[in-house]
Structure formats: structure tokens, C-alpha cells
Amino acid sequence: MVTEMAGFSKAFIICAQTYTRKLDVEVVSVLSSFGGTIHKMCTDIRLLA
């Protein structure tokens, strides 16, 4: 398979060019959480300076 040649250990079984939107939700959730953490850290540093 192409995914094995590219070095991917997992692949989605899909038809056409669609995939489950759950992956999008998980990625955006992680990025949102990371952004919130960075924002809190920067605010705390600013207030303590």
C-alpha cells in the first residue's frame, strides 16, 4: 500500500475523498487546549513582571 511505503503505521479506510470529521474535532480540540495554556502562561508572566 502507499501508506506503508510512506511510513504511516495506520490508515483510514475510506471511499472517495472523505474521512471522519472526528479527527478534525480531536486536532482542533488539542490545538485549542494548547493555545489556552500558552495564553494563561503569558498572562501570568506579564502580571508577575
Summarize pLDDT for 2-49 with one digit per residue, the tens: 778 888 887 777 665 666 778 888 899 999 999 999 999 999 999 998
Q: Is 16 left (phi over 0), alpha (psi -120 to 50) or beta?
A: left
pLDDT score for 17:
61
DSSP 7-46: T-S-----STT---THHHHHHHHHHHHHHHHHHHHHHHHH
Judge whether 29 lies within some domain: yes
Judge whether 8 lies within some domain: no
The domain of 30 spans 14-48
Judge whether 19 lies within some domain: yes
Judge whether 33 lies within some domain: yes
pLDDT score for 1:
65
d(CA 38, CA 27) in angstroms, rounded, equals 17
pLDDT score for 24:
84
Number of folded domains in the chain?
A: 1
Judge whether 22 lies within some domain: yes
**What's this model's pTM, rounded to 2 decimal places?**
0.56
Judge whether 36 lies within some domain: yes
Helix (H) or strand (E) holding 5: helix 2-6
